[in-house]
Structure 1
Amino acid sequence: MVSTDEPIRVPQGLAGRRWLFPSALVHELDPDARTSGRRPRRTARDWVVDFSCFLLAVVVGLAAAHSLPDEPGLSRPLAVLDQMLGGLACAAVWLRRRCPVGLAVALLPVGLLSITSGGAAMVALFTLAVHRPFRYVAWLGGVYLALVPLLYWLRPYPHLSYAAVVVFTALLTVSIIGWGMFVRSQRMLMLSLRDRAHRAETEARLRAEQAQRLAREAIAREMHDVLAHRLTLLSVHAGALEFRPDAPREEIVRAAGVIRESAHEALQDLREIIGVLRANESDDAEGGRPQPTLAAVDALVAESREAGMKVTLLDHRVADPTAVPASVGRTAYRIAQEGLTNARKHAPGTEVTVRLTGASGDGLTLTVTNPAPPSEVPPVPGSGQGLIGLTERAILTGGRLEHGTTADGGFEVRAWLPWGES
């Protein structure tokens, strides 16, 4: 059985028609009944089956009792004892669900003394095959079959030969055991299908939760990449206005325009990301904002230059940027964006170099390098989460990303992304 923390609910069809099912099966399918520890209550079907088994045992016992006067050498006291034991065996049939093994064992010696208990013994064997594993059935069924020749040698049947009655009884015993094992297999199959369906539902729910978590993590990375770039522009120009209040009017107007535009773009990006989160969709959802590609790197460099950065784009030797796969191009854009953002934050006023080369089959190489910041610039603390996210992005696309200080004290971010042949 599959053990899970979440209770397994009874199927809707079973909940309304429990009386059609055995109590043992309802007990297995009902989590409330299984966790309560109480014995399963008989259903209406159980009462019908139990009464039918009792009636069958009584009918077989009466038929056997009818042949007792014809049995040679049987005295009246032995005949009365036979019928008394048969009556007790039939009454014990009502205990078959509570202790099937005990009932089958108890009827073994009774069967040697009482022919009228044969029906009850067959019911006990059937119950044992239904409710207990095969090892119990094999042992007790084998003992029953071994005692059949001894029983009819001690108590010869008056209407059939010894060989015929032994063969008939042995075949009947094997048939009853096989029928009980078939019923048990059907119940186990139903429980197995229940467990398989529940396992499939659990796995589907876990896959959905994992996909949702991955999508939200991707959105969080996207929020960091986008908003960090915009907010850094705001910080740089606001700082320039703070430290140079006597700047020319043209520079103040241009800085204020960049601040206003960056704030507008940041709000727009934040609004779209929150909208995606509320809609429970990924950043690739249909109807969302178009994602940047490799062709947008030129526009990113131009935007940084307009914001006052010194950016040099070298070795831009990608003949057709639109041929780069969308996921690779988007990752390259985010790496360039994060590299420029970090350079603007940690090394303001320095000249940043962006190198972009690659071809189909060779991969795409992107490098963002900045020299050491001026000594008068105070160090800005950073968490490093952006570079960690970029490394994860590169690995997810099948590439790699390396970063660290250079020999002259600067900083370099170098990435290689796969670009297979089309």
Structure 2
Amino acid sequence: MDHPSLVPALLLADSLSPGVDGDERRPVRRSVRDWVVDVSLFLTAVGVGLLLLVESTNRVDPPSDGTVFADLVVGLVSCLFLWGRRRWPVGVAVVLALVSAFSATAGMACLIALFTVAVHRTWRTVLLVAAVNFVAFTVYDHFRPDPELPWPLTLALGAALTAAVVAWGMFVRARRQLVVSLRDRACRAESEQRLRVDQARQLERTRIAREMHDVLAHRLSLLSMHAGALEYRPDASPAEVARAAGVIRASARGALEDLRDVIGVLRDTGDGTLSDRPQPTLADLAALVEQSRGAGLRVRMEYRVPDVAAVPAVTGRTVYRVVQEALTNVRKHAGGTVACVRVTADPASGIEVMVTNPAPVGTDPAAPLPGSGTGLIGLVERVGLAGGSLEHGWTADGEFRLRARLPWPAPAVQG
């Protein structure tokens, strides 16, 4: 069992040893690779076992012919046990260890079985089987000692060989477990990436839905207001009818353009070209107010912005959407009142938007416009993302007030 030819045989066993899957008790059914591995290991065990048997007969005190014949038969039968090492690795290893205590031919088969246990079982089981192998080696050396080597050196070589087989097998086990772990981590990373993409897509759809609500609700409320005026004012003058029809036509065209932009975003293929129309900024706020006045809504505007160009585009767009949603709600729920809009901006104190209107008086003959109930919720989220805050509700004076405060973004530091 201490023949020098065992070292390359162990390397061959490592290169041909079976892989490890998630379940250590692998199925009995063999693949083509398994058949190649098992045949190779069987032939290696037989070949090295015969070399060990020949080496034992060349000693100064060789065994008898009957002992050699029995060793040969028992060793060859032990090599056949290797065909069951996949299903019963521990049992086969223990049986071969016991047989190797009296048979030199079974030595290599014993080491292959120990290597299989080290690859497929936990370290506690491996240490137990390794201890059985070392005891069997000690028994073999006691009954058939090598006269050329002293007893302590023989035991040391046996212990070193057993430890080398165990260490090599556990290294192969750890390496294969690492491969499995890396594969699992790669699968988890791919799943997490898909989840992040889905979340980003959902967030983008939510942003598009919010933008659609902010834009189309404003346009459609103008359409509904003037269509209702034409319905309930059959005696209106031709000039008034023409003016209302013009507002309806302009609002419908603007709504179609906005809807086209939103659909363009939904159909975007990822080239970064979402829309050719510029997004509204604080400079467009006056046009929004005039549009509302042209639609018949009474608006009192107070504008205290020293330098419109100094307001960042993203912050200005948020202010625009806040005023747009506020005026849309006034048209929906208090169309006969006066809306007061006040916008103040200062780099020191930030930007404040306040829109107030009194409670409606009397009964509007037109049916109230439907609302989704999510406009103010979307505004709170939009203003919060910009780092500001938004308040809305009835005051003690009987007015509905919407007030948004936005910070003045600090200028980017040039590196």
| Residue 392 of structure 2 corresponds to residue 400 of structure 1 | no
Identity %: 51
Amino acid at match of 1:337: Q
Question: Could you tell me whether the CA contact under 8 Å between 1:71 and 1:156 is conserved in 2?
Answer: no
The 3 A distance-change label for structure 1 pair 173 and 277 is same
Amino acid at match of 2:34: D
Within 2, Cα distance between the matches of 1:158 and 1:88? 28
Within 2, Cα distance between the matches of 1:22 and 1:382? 71
The gaps in structure 2 that reach 5 residues or longer are 1-14
1:15 corresponds in structure 2 to none
The alignment partner of 1:292 has SS state of coil
Query: Higher mean Cα deviation, 213-222 or 75-84?
Result: 75-84
Query: Higher mean Cα deviation, 191-200 or 296-305?
Result: 191-200
The 3 A distance-change label for structure 1 pair 281 and 253 is farther
1:342 corresponds in structure 2 to 329
Amino acid at match of 2:278: P
1:2-23 Cα offsets, whole Å, 9 max, x none, are xxxxxxxxxxxxxxxxxx9987
| Residue 151 of structure 2 corresponds to residue 151 of structure 1 | no
1:45 corresponds in structure 2 to 33
| Residue 312 of structure 2 corresponds to residue 325 of structure 1 | yes
| Residue 294 of structure 2 corresponds to residue 306 of structure 1 | yes
The gaps in structure 1 that reach 5 residues or longer are 1-19, 29-33
The alignment partner of 1:313 has SS state of strand
The alignment partner of 2:101 has SS state of helix
1:23-70 Cα offsets, whole Å, 9 max, x none, are 745x66xxxxx9xx9937534433332222112211222123224444
Q: How does 1:13-32 map to 2 (within 5 A)?
A: 24=19
Within 1, Cα distance between the matches of 2:347 and 2:239? 46
Amino acid at match of 1:331: T
Shift of 1:116: 2.1
Query: Higher mean Cα deviation, 122-131 or 39-48?
Result: 39-48
Question: Could you tell me whether the CA contact under 8 Å between 1:61 and 1:119 is conserved in 2?
Answer: yes
Question: Could you tell me whether the CA contact under 8 Å between 1:101 and 1:128 is conserved in 2?
Answer: yes
Query: Higher mean Cα deviation, 387-396 or 376-385?
Result: 376-385
Which residue of the other structure, out of 259, 276, 279, is the alignment partner of 1:291? 279
TM-score, length-scaled by structure 2: 0.86
| Residue 112 of structure 2 corresponds to residue 123 of structure 1 | yes
The alignment partner of 2:267 has SS state of helix
Question: Could you tell me whether the CA contact under 8 Å between 2:343 and 2:352 is conserved in 1?
Answer: yes
Query: Higher mean Cα deviation, 37-46 or 392-401?
Result: 37-46
1:233-262 Cα offsets, whole Å, 9 max, x none, are 001111111111111211111000000110
| Residue 159 of structure 2 corresponds to residue 167 of structure 1 | no
Amino acid at match of 1:275: G
The alignment partner of 1:355 has SS state of strand
The alignment partner of 1:392 has SS state of helix
2:231 corresponds in structure 1 to 242
Query: Higher mean Cα deviation, 284-293 or 395-404?
Result: 284-293
Q: How does 1:13-412 map to 2 (within 5 A)?
A: 24=19, 39=27, 41-69=29-57, 70=59, 72=61, 77-279=66-268, 285-314=273-302, 316-377=303-364, 380=368, 382-412=371-401
The 3 A distance-change label for structure 1 pair 359 and 101 is farther
The 3 A distance-change label for structure 1 pair 43 and 373 is same
The 3 A distance-change label for structure 1 pair 206 and 182 is same
Amino acid at match of 2:403: R
The 3 A distance-change label for structure 1 pair 367 and 146 is farther
The alignment partner of 2:300 has SS state of strand
Within 2, Cα distance between the matches of 1:211 and 1:280? 15
Shift of 1:155: 2.9
What RMSD over aligned residues (CA atoms) do the two structures have, in Å? 2.7
TM-score, length-scaled by structure 1: 0.85
Question: Could you tell me whether the CA contact under 8 Å between 1:357 and 1:365 is conserved in 2?
Answer: yes
2:3 corresponds in structure 1 to none
